[in-house]
């Protein structure tokens, strides 16, 4: 038990505290995993909402931007961009948006894809937009 030799330097109270804290850290991770996804996808271009769809319906959407067509895939409760006409494909590498507040932006094609939840109170503004 050499790997746990450091436990000898803890007081019995410290050991109990360590167990409690470890359990709460594990619990906080499970809260994170159990968090339910957002409920709908909102796509806006130039501050105008051009597309809204529920997240639980699998579909593929073609979004028109100044550069061309960006393809948005909604699958298994998450949205991601699978093809884009822009040069760097940053939006494609942003991955999946599934929780309320997640955001995918395609700056060259001027599209902002946002996942929203059921509650309007969730939708807080950030420091810059406030």
Which residues contribute to the site for other proteins (CB under 8 A)? 6, 8-14, 17-18, 21-22, 24-25, 28-29, 31-32, 35, 99-102, 122, 124-127, 130
Query: Of 4 and 87, which has the nearer Cβ to other proteins?
Result: 4
Query: Of 26 and 87, which has the nearer Cβ to other proteins?
Result: 26
- Least Å distance, CB 97 to other proteins, is 11
Which residues, other chains included, contact 76 with Cβ-Cβ below 8 Å and sequence gap of 6+?
Answer: 58
Report the distance separating Cα 127 and Cα 66, nearest Å.
Answer: 28
- Least Å distance, CB 111 to other proteins, is 20
Both tokens assigned to 92: 């494609």
Report the distance separating Cα 130 and Cα 127, nearest Å.
Answer: 5
- Least Å distance, CB 14 to other proteins, is 4
Query: Of 31 and 87, which has the nearer Cβ to other proteins?
Result: 31
Which residues, other chains included, contact 42 with Cβ-Cβ below 8 Å and sequence gap of 6+?
Answer: 49, 51, 52, 113, 114, 115, 116
């Amino acid at each position: 038990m050499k790997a746990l030799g450091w436990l000898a330097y803890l007081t019995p109270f410290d050991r109990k505290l360590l167990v409690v804290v470890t359990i709460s850290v594990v619990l906080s991770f499970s809260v994170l995993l159990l968090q339910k996804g957002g409920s709908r996808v909102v796509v806006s271009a130039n501050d105008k909402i051009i597309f809204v769809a529920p997240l639980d319906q699998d579909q593929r959407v073609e979004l028109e931007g100044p550069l061309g067509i960006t393809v948005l895939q909604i699958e298994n409760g998450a949205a991601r961009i699978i093809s884009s006409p822009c040069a760097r494909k940053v939006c494609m590498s942003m991955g999946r948006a599934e929780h309320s507040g997640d955001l995918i932006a395609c700056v060259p094609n001027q599209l902002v894809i946002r996942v929203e939840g059921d509650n309007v109170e969730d939708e807080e503004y950030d420091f810059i937009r406030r």
